[in-house]
């Protein structure tokens, strides 16, 4: 029985999950792949931490060259994360003729072009199922399952931490900071959760999905990104009263020859399946022209979930390697009919707006007058009687308006004496 | 540029969708597959019906041997449906060394063993993404994406027609027959809808999913099947009042060394994502031990949806064919730890029961006494005051009970003078 030899870079949570599965499902995998997936070496700079799986001392190294320079290793699994030195290790592995499996969304989103170009020129495929949606086979589904489909929209809940926080606020009525602390306590958020809550992790994943669906590796700076750090419990409650849930959505919308990309908190109708996605779950809703509107849902975190995706990649890589198959189709085909990205100030949306205003006659009239001046039409207003409160929230939903017009109007409204904070503005998506 | 030649059996709705996509997405597919997918011949016994796509006269034939005996044809696409002669055609194609793509769930579920055995012995893979869930890439996800996962449960809404009918009853409060007539008018149901509404189509698809998840091709007679033909509007309304939606579910549940398989109308909690699946949509909810609980959702009908799946198979087949790759893993590995199927009378469930009883003192006591006698514990009772009605519905939810005990109790209750119809019984699934 032939063996395929693996070298693992990064022996953290996901890495040790991979090692455990390779061991526990050894014969199942051998039966499926037709050869043994044999782990040869594991590299991590930290060799002393206690892990929940035992490895013989000579399988561990802190010297990456023992893997990258070993001609006996066929597939390198990169689970270090971050841009450097992960990038250099992957480039070196490809240059040495190895297959690469990676979960590194930041690297692929930020510098994927160099990596894909090198892989192509070396005739090696690159596998990254674990980079988006953990164990949900979304990469494979888009790449292979929806092979001839064209996409109109992608709506993704792609960050488990943010979704946990928003769900906790919505269901248990705790505020943002309490929810974040809980997420950290459960191990669903890093001590430094900025990448998650500011939308950057979702952005990375969106860029990868856009590459798969439209064949374009867009520049991160061309995507509008807003996180959930300023979402208050008040807005979550008002949204629900109005029939919406607030979710951090990553959105790609294609219209004629333009592509609109954005990541931001979004009000979505309570009845939409995406509104029901709770806790650390992820969901990807794609509108495909042949297969129709599809939803893929599952846990977006957890070490066995991401490890399941890595194993699926290992199977594919081992099979391709045995067949000497270069998966040309793995490099997305650019959709040449898309000519440009739409700038955020050119996009149109409905909006939820919360003003904090002095409770006195004429306030609503003053605000409405300024909105009308900028051609902004009000769909609904909620203002509740509050005893003895000097400043009260006025919540409005406005009809489709160009982002630019709204910004101008809000600036004027914020300048009114009776308006006490800069208005809170959240997009509404009618999906 | 090399070409891969295709022969299509069955030029109906899905078939003409496939022809149209092959034509419209020709260059995209060539870029992805690395060769042209060239349709050489289309066979249908009806060559005169008007179709919405033009084919040159010499590409059409009513003689299947022009495809099966043509050594120039590499891949045969079987879209005839039904057992015979589809089976003979597929066997002949495999014997001639061709790759086979099929959407034929009935054939694979009923006589898949012979076909898989022949394919294996000929070293040819067989592709059937379109057999379950139309354009949802569920076959690929289970086969390849969740390669090392073990499954605890599968819950599927697998029949678009039945789901359309149940959704229409629930949302628009029309009765079963009206909903069926509408489904037929919209083209979502055949004139003879028995395969759909009696649960047989769902059964076929469940058998295929079970083959993929557990490696067992079970005998259809070993699966408990009940359809939706006896579901009344009254039950749909009561269910909703109690916090449930009624769905036709196909269920596989694994517990230790037993596998429980059943297809039946089921009360599921309104909050569960499966309860939100409307119209002709399908959904598959799988509980995987590594990847977690995943949901796959999308349209279960429509000619481009199924055609999208056929195209995905064609890509795989063409790629495998070029690489000379035999996808051994495509034949599921049998899970030898499953020793037996659990008989339906050994299963336990909670149940919804509706009695139609004379409105007089002592009725509830009589019914409750008999339930208690068989150790059946009541979770809730609803009986509404009805003016001038002689016979009134009494709706109960009972705690977990063995199917067998319930049957015995109901038989005794049905024998009471005050009970006027055989009680309606629907399972409740706590997912």
* 3-class SS string, A380-421: EEEECCCCCCCEEEEEEEEEEEEHHHHHHHHHHHHCCCCECC
Q: What is the distance of C-alpha A236 from the center of its chain?
A: 21
Q: Assign A1 a pLDDT band (cuts: 50, 70, 90).
A: low
**Residue A324 pLDDT:** 77
CA atoms of B81 and B87, how far apart (whole Å): 9
Of B25, B294, B323, the CB nearest to A323: B323
Report phi then psi at B406, rounded to 5: -65, -45
- pLDDT bin (cut points 50, 70, 90) of residue A384 is confident
ipTM, 2 decimals?
Answer: 0.95
Does residue A167 sit at the B interface (CB-CB below 8 Å)? Answer: no
CB neighbourhood size of B230 (10 A): 12
Structure confidence at residue B118 as a pLDDT band (50, 70, 90): very high
Which residue is catalytic, options B41, B87, B105, B205?
B205
Indicate whether A17 pLDDT > 90: yes
Determine the pLDDT at residue B329: 57
pLDDT digits (tens, 9 = 90+) for B324-357: 777 665 678 888 999 999 988 888 999 999 999 9
User: Is the pLDDT at B130 greater than 80, yes or no?
Assistant: yes
Provide DSSP, B41-103: EEE-S--SS--SS---GGGEES-THHHHT-TT--EEEE---SSTTHHHHHHHHHHTT-EEEE-
Which whole-number Å values give the CA distances from B206 to B108, B212, B223, B225, in the listed order? 11, 10, 10, 11
Q: Which residues contact B295 (CB under 8 A, 6 or more apart)?
A: A295, A296, A297, A298, B273, B274, B283, B284, B285
Q: What percent of chain B has pLDDT above 70?
A: 98
- In chain A, the residue whose alpha carbon lies closest to the alpha carbon of B24 is A148
Structure tokens, B147: 């390669």
* Cα B174 from Cα B168, distance rounded (Å): 7
Q: Which residues pair with B325 in a beta bridge?
A: none
Per-residue pLDDT, A389: 74
Distances (CA, A) of B357 to A206, A421, B390, B392, B423: 58, 63, 8, 5, 10
- Which candidate from B136, B325, B329 shows the least CB-CB separation from A294? B136
Give the separation between CA B6 and CA B29, rounded to whole angstroms. 14
Q: Are A36 and A64 in contact (CB under 8 A)?
A: no
Interface test with A, best of B127, B277, B294, B299 (most A CBs within 10 A): B294
Domains of chain A: 3-134+303-330 (3.40.50.720), 139-300 (3.30.360.10), 346-428 (3.30.70.260)
Q: Which B residues 280-309 touch A at CB under 8 Å?
A: 288-299, 302, 304-305, 307-309
* pLDDT beyond 80 at A416: yes
**Quick check: A123 and A326 in contact, CB under 8 A?**
yes
> Any idea what DSSP says for residue B214?
H
User: Do the beta carbons of residue A150 and residue A252 sit within 8 Å?
Assistant: no
Distance set, CA B290 to CA A127, A299, A312 (Å): 19, 10, 11
Do residues B250 and B198 make contact, with C-beta atoms less than 8 angstroms apart?
no
Closest partner residue to B295 (CB to CB) among A140, A295, A325 is: A295
Chain mean pLDDT for chain A: 94
Residue B390 reports pLDDT greater than 90:
no
* B84, HSE (Cβ side, Cα atoms, 13 Å): 0
Residue contact A315–B144, C-beta within 8 A: yes
Cβ count within 10 A of residue B271: 12
Q: Does pTM top 0.90 for this prediction?
A: yes
């Amino acid at each position: 029985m032939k063996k395929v030899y693996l070298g693992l870079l990064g022996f953290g949570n996901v890495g040790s999950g991979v090692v455990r599965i390779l061991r526990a499902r050894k014969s199942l995998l051998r039966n499926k792949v037709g050869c043994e997936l044999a782990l040869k070496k594991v590299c991590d700079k930290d060799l002393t931490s206690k892990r929940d799986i035992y490895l013989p001392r000579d399988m561990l190294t802190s010297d990456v060259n023992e893997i990258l320079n070993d001609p006996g290793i066929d597939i390198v699994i990169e689970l270090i994360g971050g841009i450097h030195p992960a990038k250099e290790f992957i480039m070196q592995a490809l240059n040495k003729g190895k297959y690469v499996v990676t979960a590194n969304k930041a690297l692929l989103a930020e510098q994927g072009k160099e990596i894909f170009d090198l892989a192509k020129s070396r005739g090696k495929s690159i596998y990254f199922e674990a980079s988006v949606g953990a164990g949900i086979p979304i990469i494979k589904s888009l790449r292979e399952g929806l092979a001839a489909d064209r996409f109109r929209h992608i709506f993704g809940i792609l960050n488990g931490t943010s979704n946990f926080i928003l769900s906790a606020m919505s269901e248990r009525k705790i505020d943002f900071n309490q929810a974040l602390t809980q997420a950290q306590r459960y191990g669903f958020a890093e001590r430094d959760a900025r990448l998650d809550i500011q939308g950057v992790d979702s952005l990375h994943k969106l860029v990868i999905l856009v590459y798969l669906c439209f064949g374009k590796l867009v520049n991160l700076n061309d995507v509008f990104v807003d996180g959930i750090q300023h979402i208050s419990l008040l807005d979550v409650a008002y949204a629900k009263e109005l029939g919406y849930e607030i979710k951090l959505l990553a959105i790609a919308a294609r219209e004629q020859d333009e592509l609109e990309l954005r990541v931001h908190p979004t009000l979505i109708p309570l009845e939409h399946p995406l509104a029901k996605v709770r806790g650390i779950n992820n969901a990807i809703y794609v509108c495909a022209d042949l297969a129709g509107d599809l939803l893929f849902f599952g846990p977006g975190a957890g070490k066995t979930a991401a490890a399941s995706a890595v194993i699926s990649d290992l199977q594919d890589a081992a099979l391709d390697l045995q067949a000497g198959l270069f998966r040309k189709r793995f490099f997305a085909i650019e959709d040449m009919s898309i000519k440009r990205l739409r700038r955020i100030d050119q996009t149109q949306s409905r909006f939820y707006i919360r003003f904090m205003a002095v409770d006195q006659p004429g306030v609503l009239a003053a605000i409405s007058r300024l909105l009308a001046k900028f051609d902004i039409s009000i769909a609904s207003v909620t203002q509740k009687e509050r005893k003895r409160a000097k400043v009260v929230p006025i919540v409005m939903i406005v009809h489709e308006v160009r982002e630019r017009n709204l910004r101008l109007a809000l600036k004027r409204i914020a300048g009114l004496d009776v308006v006490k904070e800069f208005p809170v503005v959240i997009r509404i998506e009618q999906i």
